[in-house]
Structure 1
Amino acid sequence: MSKSKDLSVVGWRELVHLPELGLHGVPAKIDTGARTSSLHGEVIEEFERDGEKFVRFAVDFGAQHVRQVCEAVHVDIRGITSSNGETQYRYVIKTPLRIGDLEFRAEISLANRADMRFPMLVGRSSLRRRFVVDSGYSWLQTPEMKTKKGHKP
């Protein structure tokens, strides 16, 4: 078992990267209360390629007026209970996620997060045995944000 001193420290918000999806510098809320990570994505279609199930989805960055269309292996459709207690059935993809210098494969549900402040939420399954969270700070794994905005909440 890893000791916390061996783990990287993240703040309550970080910029994360999903390199296989072409998404870089995605603002993410670090949320130990959520089991599964979630990404704002509108599912466009489900399809097969070489016998594997894929999903094509769009990620909208409203402030920049940008829509990125992504494709990923579709792992599952699961009932995910949101913070308001409602269960929604969502597509779950598995793709590399990079936080700071650490890159690993993560399961991420696709959800409508248009009303949320952050387009991505990083849940405890992705954090487990990799990171500890210092909720009093922001951008601990995002040096460019520390210098730009400071790293206090």
Structure 2
Amino acid sequence: MTLKPLSRLLSLLFIPGLSLAAEKTTYGLNEYAQLTDINLQVPAKLDTGALTASLSARDIKRFKRNGERWVRFYLAIDNAHSHPIERPLVRVSSIKRRADDCECSDRERKTHTQRPVIELDVCMGNTQRRIEVNLTDRTAFDYPLLIGSDALTRFDALVDPSRKHAAGKPACATVATIAE
């Protein structure tokens, strides 16, 4: 008889956790993402093991405009993107290099690589957020956009790796207020 009141009391402790989970959006391992700034929809891989988001880019050049740091790049997604994109440079990130990232000698091998970081407005499902994205050539991967845990936190995301495209096609308003 004493277990029944105790189990009821313990079950009440889990109610706040249930309401918190109800406020989050469940996404699949793979989603469609609209890069609002660039007016382009791309397939994305959601990776809770990665910290940052990465976008496939090539010919990445840093330059100064009116004393500010900028970056110019081409999307490395398909042949349709032949025009350069220019964005303010937010920062340069130091990303841990995997052993198979470099075909170089042990003497040349670095443990980290430097990547320029920009901000982009990204829409997944009905949610749009401004996230930081580092630029790197991802043509060897199946998904041109990788969304890491920092961005997933901004999306209030729960990731179900057994699902794909759980949020459906991006459906953010064309004139959207970006939630910060």
So what's the TM-score if we normalise by structure 2?
0.70
Within a 5 Å distance, the mapping from 1:1-153 to structure 2 comes to 3-20=20-37, 22-62=38-78, 65-68=79-82, 69-82=84-97, 84=99, 86-128=111-153, 130-143=156-169
Query: How big is the shift at 1:83?
Result: 5.1
One-letter code of the match for 1:66? A
One-letter code of the match for 2:126? D
Query: How big is the shift at 1:23?
Result: 4.1
Inter-partner Cα distance in structure 1 for 2:151 and 2:28: 14
Tell me if structure 2 keeps the 8 A contact 1:73–1:93: yes
Query: How big is the shift at 1:67?
Result: 2.0
Inter-partner Cα distance in structure 2 for 1:56 and 1:35: 24
Equivalent residue pairs, number: 141
Q: Stretches of 4+ moved more than 3 A in 1?
A: 82-86
Output the aligned Cα RMSD. Answer: 2.2
Tell me if structure 1 keeps the 8 A contact 2:77–2:139: no
User: Sequence identity of aligned pairs in percent?
Assistant: 29
Query: How big is the shift at 1:143?
Result: 4.3
Inter-partner Cα distance in structure 2 for 1:18 and 1:123: 16
SS where residue 94 of structure 1 aligns?
A: strand
Tell me if structure 2 keeps the 8 A contact 1:60–1:66: no
